[in-house]
Amino acid sequence: MKKANGSNNGLENYRKLLLAKRSELLSSFRAKLDTLVGPGGAAPEDLAPVFHEQFIALRLNRLDYLQLKMVDDALARTDEATYGVCMDCEGPISARRLEAIPWASRCIACQEQAASVHDFAPLAERAERAA
């Protein structure tokens, strides 16, 4: 795989963005723990809304986990000096794309091609396949 050809200063800026996003996702996990614990001695007929809230929290946690994995993978690529290199075509990922989505692992063309192949798959399944 090709090595990234970005400046160290630019790479450090992307690394800061990735670390900030990682911190945000971890805080989100902690905030959702209260929803997952639920009430202890509630009557069974009162638990339907609680179970619904827990279901939603679990789905959101799953999506956050998948995004956290993509962020961690991008941080690993910064250490390996392959950050900013498309995993499919090995071409450069544009700085504009990396500013918008610092954990991007594909250039726009390859991402569009990958998305068109999986248009009917849910977002979480697509992210799992990419991982």
Residue-wise pLDDT for 88-123, tens only, equals 999 999 999 999 999 999 999 999 998 887 655 555
125: domain CATH number?
1.20.120.910
> Per the domain annotation, does 2 fall within a domain?
no
C-alpha distances in Å from residue 56, one per residue of 33, 35, 61, 112: 12, 9, 9, 29
Contact yes or no for 3/21 (Cβ under 8 A): no
Confidence label for 5 from pLDDT (cuts 50, 70 and 90): very low
pTM: 0.68
Domain that holds residue 76: 8-130
